[in-house]
Amino acid sequence: MAASYSICRLLWVPFYNRAGPVLWGFPYFYWYQLLWVPITSILIWIVYRSIGHDD
The reply to whether the predicted model has a pTM over 0.75 is no
DSSP state of 26: B
Query: Distance between terminal CA atoms of the chain?
Result: 24
The pLDDT value given to residue 55? 62
The pLDDT value given to residue 25? 87
- Asked whether the predicted pLDDT for residue 1 surpasses 70, the reply is no
**Predicted confidence (pLDDT) per residue in 17-49, tens digit:** 777 888 888 888 888 888 888 988 898 898 888
- Mean of the pLDDT values across residues 6-23? 78
Alpha-carbon Rg of the chain, whole angstroms?
Answer: 14
The pLDDT value given to residue 2? 65
